[in-house]
Amino acid sequence: MSDPRYKPKSFSAEPEAFGKAVKMRWHPMLAGPTERHHRAAMLQHNYACRIRERLKVEDWTFKRYASEAQIEYDRLVRMLRGEVVMRLEDIALADELLKGVSEWSHRAMRNHAKALEEQREKEARQNRAKR
């Protein structure tokens, strides 16, 4: 595995918490070429936390996820720790396997839950009206 262009966790004031702690302190963002890497690191941290959360909810181990996703276990662990850069493909794959990782997926899940609740309320009203 080649060295990444940058290590996302290097932008964190708490690199050991990268991808684990929902709230984390960051180094000050500096204007210039590294600003986009800093922002990308913040996004990656957020997605890594979501992936870890979904793995817990689904009761999946990292090894199982790596196997299902057909990615190297080492890359998965390094990506979630912020040692290598996460790709959009990684986020899309996590959404496919775990659901609820990306904003799009979160929104779709909320909309689905809302539609189910509205359907239940409608059915309850109809049942009360029949009595």
Pairwise CA distance, residues 45 & 81, whole Å = 8
Q: What is the pLDDT of residue 1?
A: 53
Q: If residue 106 lies in a helix (H) or strand (E), which one and from where to where?
A: helix 103-130
CA atoms within 13 A on the CB side of 89: 5
Q: What is the mean pLDDT of the chain?
A: 90
Which tokens hold the place of 131? 């009595």
**Domains in the chain, CATH or no CATH each:** 8-101 (1.10.260)
- The amino acid sitting at 105 is S
pLDDT digits (tens, 9 = 90+) for 18-66: 999 989 999 998 888 789 999 999 999 999 999 999 999 999 999 999 9
On the question of pLDDT at 84 being above 70, the answer is yes
pTM equals 0.77
Q: What is the pLDDT of residue 131?
A: 76
> Which of these, 112, 125, 101, lies nearest to 52 by C-alpha position?
101
